[in-house]
Amino acid sequence: MKVILLGPPGAGKGTQAQFITERYAIPQISTGDMLRAAIKAETPLGLEVKDVMASGGLVSDELIIALVRERVEQSDCQNGFLFDGFPRTIPQATAIVDAGILIDAVVEIAVVDEEIVARLSGRRVHEDSGRIYHIDHNPPNNVGLDDETGEPLIQRPDDSEETVRNRLDVYHKQTKPLVNFYTELATSGNPAPTFSSVSGLGLLSDVQERLVEALNK
């Protein structure tokens, strides 16, 4: 099973990616991990990436696609793989097709913006322990205080409403167009992955059931 998982920040992609990789016995491939592994292994591509990053440049789509091709040919990808955070843009998605990297299924976890804002901006954290609360769904016993230590909870900068809305804006501009790209590709009549959009709302088990149904189309 070769899968691309799409969805806005806060939709639960990380949790569902772990579920999919365990269920189908496939690795989760992120571009960040892939870049670090290539640099560490000092492969020819890894050395090229190292030079680019050392000069402060951005790693080109061409180089990332070359790394992806190299990665998906490794033995642990025999049963497939799940792309994590890739592709992010139409040029990257087009490059995957042009490179002949076959994908079985593209699934979008769909959650409306206001739900995402409520999910993320409601999080509170105990800084020293990393314990996470939510003002609505998992509140502390005493407002604003950690249950175990009584110390104040904080809202991480990444969870502020302004930051969350900015991240959603970037997603809608850069990554949301991939939904249209893969929808059109799936109906083009050419070899293409199936495309499904599943609701990310409700119980975790319900979302997982929808994902399995979408992947088994």
Tokens for 35? 């870049």
Count of Cβ atoms closer than 10 Å to residue 164 Cβ = 22
Residues in CB range of 37: below 8 A, 6 or more apart = 46
124 a catalytic residue: no
Rounded to 10°, the helix 61-72/31-41 angle is: 80
123 a catalytic residue: yes
Distance CA 7, CA 15 (A): 12
Give the gyration radius of the chain's Cα atoms: 19
123-125 and 2-6: which strand pairing?
unpaired
Catalytically annotated residue among 88, 131, 165, 176: 88
Catalytically annotated residue among 131, 165, 167, 176: 167
- The single-letter code of the amino acid at 53 is M
Catalytically annotated residue among 71, 123, 124, 210: 123
Residues in CB range of 91: below 8 A, 6 or more apart = 61
167 a catalytic residue: yes
156 a catalytic residue: yes
Catalytically annotated residue among 23, 156, 173, 217: 156
Catalytically annotated residue among 2, 13, 124, 210: 13
Distance CA 27, CA 22 (A): 8
Q: Catalytic residue positions?
A: 13, 88, 123, 156, 167
